[in-house]
Amino acid sequence: MKERCPVCQEKKLLSKAVGVCGRCLREDPEACAPFVERARRRSRQTFRLPEKPPQDPSGIPCNLCVHGCRIPKDGLGFCGLPPGGREKAKVSWYYDPLPTNCVADFVCPGGTGAGFPRWSFKPGPEYGYQNLAVFYEACSFDCLYCQNWHYRVDGPKRAPVGPEELANAVNPRVSCICFFGGDPTPQLPHALSAAEEALHRSPQRILRICFETNGSMNPAILERMMDVSMRSGGVIKFDLKAWTPSVHYALTGAPNSQTLQNFARVAEAFPERPEVPLLVASILLVPGYVDVEEVRPIAEFIAGLNPNIPLSLLAFYPNCLMDDLPCTSWAHMERCVSAAKEAGVKTVHVGNRHLLWPGNYEEELCG
């Protein structure tokens, strides 16, 4: 597990997919840049995607996310989608019995009964009901550790569909719809149309609209997301990948500035519906890269906006191009939980407990 970092020349817990250690990414990003760019190119080439967000002067502009692509006529955006409208989407879905492993299950109506009887069918977990889990097969990020990378090589599970067909999937036992992926961002117009259609068909029943996202969407479309989630009792779940821009870019291929701005915007509306949190944050604890040095400033940022915003710390599982790292250790998790609480976040949840490595991998693997 120990590899020599080419920048600091020290043996560290690092992934060959990144090429440099987390400390060097934070302290010397300029020296790390050639290794990071090589890693980024390798990832994009593996999945046959544009190496950079296209900026063709005569291309079709797309303003759905932070990249602001101008896509050539027969080309692809950074997300892997062609130019044009989003009337139909590359999407699949399934029925997930409640309570489920939703990022927000520790505070949401489906997992806890929060907001009963207005927002939940039961005063506790909604056993007997379902989440319509909607998986969008595109993403505005390019995470080297993506847990759902298979859609990029397996291809779509069905032909592109319109929002009405997705709305047709809502049955009487569905109490929430969660749009995730990939990420819903590149196809948000479709998701919002499907959500509005589903709500229109069921005006007198509980049907929560939730989003799980990297938060890179255009702020204008974020306002529509906030509206539909607020009035339906849904939750917007932001996956905050890292605080340091150089670490964030190395892991995801994207900047985090718009994500943080969008998070702050949703936080402004957080007090308007205290019985069911509109906003939940999550951080994946990536060994060697996302530890206290990243978690503490994120937690300080969250607490500075509103200390009542719930935070879930998630255990990492080796996957995609970063399959050479161990799972998150209990020691790693405990450090980050303590840091988040010390920063002022009132509700800190430990997710994916079954993945946690017993003990301390820094000593056992790298000592």
Domain residue spans of the chain: 2-51, 87-237, 240-367
pLDDT at site 358: 86
pLDDT at site 361: 60
Q: Tens digits of per-residue pLDDT, 319-335?
A: 999 999 999 999 999 99
Question: 214 is written with which tokens?
Answer: 């990297």
Is beta strand 208-213 parallel, antiparallel or unpaired with respect to 91-97? unpaired
What lies within 8 Å, CB to CB, of 101 at 6+ separation is none
Residues of the chain with pLDDT below 50 are 363, 365-367
pLDDT at site 158: 75
pLDDT at site 341: 98
Cβ 17 vs Cβ 39: under 8 Å: yes
pLDDT at site 258: 98
pLDDT at site 366: 47
- Name the CATH superfamily, with its identifier, for domain 240-367: Aldolase class I (3.20.20.70)
The pairs formed by 255-262 with CB atoms below 8 angstroms and a separation of 24 or more are 255/66, 257/66, 258/65, 258/66, 258/215, 258/216, 258/217, 258/219, 259/66, 259/214, 259/215, 259/216, 260/215, 260/301, 261/219, 262/215, 262/216, 262/217, 262/219, 262/222, 262/238
pLDDT at site 367: 40
Cβ 80 vs Cβ 152: under 8 Å: yes
